Chain A
Amino acid sequence: QKEVEQNSGPLSVPEGAIASLNCTYSDRVSQSFFWYRQYSGKSPELIMSIYSNGDKEDGRFTAQLNKASQYVSLLIRDSQPSDSATYLCAVTTSNTDKLIFGTGTRLQVFP
């Protein structure tokens, strides 16, 4: 089992819809969770962090964390074509001070 798993996609949603991106992780004691956005040919950009169960909202983005089920999700409301990118989930490990990245989900928002 991979430490951090994401569906590679592509996830295609129409403009204005809600995009839902999911991530599961294997380390039960992971404490910190992040979503990065990576446009094609560019470097990853941190867009959301979440540390406790529940929802965290920032503009059109909402991160959701459920430690009991070991999943974290990212919702993008009112999706725009400019949101088309690969979204990477990252999780801290319990035994090293490193982030473990998923392989990313490619999101396509069509007009």
Chain B
Amino acid sequence: DGGITQSPKYLFRKEGQNVTLSCEQNLNHDAMYWYRQDPGQGLRLIYYSQIVNDFQKGDIAEGYSVSREKKESFPLTVTSAQKNPTAFYLCASGDRAGDGYTFGSGTRLTVV
């Protein structure tokens, strides 16, 4: 079955640590996106990539980094520079925005 797989489902980070969230899709979509969602809040765009080896900052890119070495994969690293990383992280993919996005099941990151 085609879809987007995010892992892990739950992640705990200590202060000062970098952590990487995985996102893999087998939908053959060109574009992939990372969003952050805080409790009771909407989706905020962190980074997006519309083609391999290229990506752009979204609205809240500070403290995050990404790579897009393969079409199927778009990992997100939450660095120690991100001071408030506790949130629900969602990865999405799509061919064109006009077709809508498909979302992964999300990763819930908590700072301990």
Whether a CB of chain B sits under 8 angstroms from the CB of A44 is yes
Closest chain B residue to A96 by CB distance? B97
B100–A97 CB distance below 8 A: no
B105–A43 CB distance below 8 A: yes
Closest chain A residue to B4 by CB distance? A43
Whether a CB of chain A sits under 8 angstroms from the CB of B75 is no
How many chain A residues sit at the interface, stated as a range, is 20 to 34
A99–B106 CB distance below 8 A: no
Whether a CB of chain A sits under 8 angstroms from the CB of B31 is yes
Within 8 A of B (CB), among A63-111: 88, 90, 92-93, 96-99, 101-104
Task: Give the residues in chain B near A51, CB-CB below 8 Å.
Answer: 98
How many chain B residues sit at the interface, stated as a range, is 20 to 34
Closest chain A residue to B104 by CB distance? A43
Interface-located stretch among B12-20, B39-47, B66-74: B39-47
Q: How far is the CB of A65 from chain B (nearest CB, A)?
A: 14
Q: How many Å lie between the Cα of A98 and that of B50 in the bound state?
A: 10
Whether a CB of chain A sits under 8 angstroms from the CB of B7 is no
Closest chain A residue to B96 by CB distance? A97
Within 8 A of B (CB), among A22-73: 31-32, 34, 41-46, 49, 51
Q: How many Å lie between the Cα of A96 and that of B50 in the bound state?
A: 11
With beta carbons under 8 angstroms apart, the residue of A31, A41, A49, A101 that contacts B43 is A101
